[in-house]
Structure 1
């Protein structure tokens, strides 16, 4: 669902805001290096993201999406957000 996908791409922006002083500079998703969807996926209810790499101009994260039972629904690695 588009709303859930938006949440996936907003999470790294929130991480960057906590890590950097220039949090007011907007970030936009520009690349996803790898996506794995679960064959028996449920409804995504929560996300976990970690910063894999960060620079002045970009942040790269790995994001795992879980259902309400804690099963992995999707994994996105190399999600790159660049400053506008």
Structure 2
């Protein structure tokens, strides 16, 4: 999922994240993301696997819960509604 590869986290971080999604159906935590202009920022994410009636994963829903305030003292407003990631 290129959407989440800022270059800040190593392969082990992503392996643990995807292991959690596969075993528990979701993952939640803070990552460092990168804007189109190259600037990195911390972001709280919830990634949930959506399954069909047969139990197979059909897609993932990504909810970006906040962007930390510029001064680093806490979260700012939510970034918007959840996005579906296929």
TM-score (norm 2): 0.41
The higher-RCO structure (CA 8 Å, 6+ apart) is 1
TM-score (norm 1): 0.41
Bigger CA radius of gyration: 2
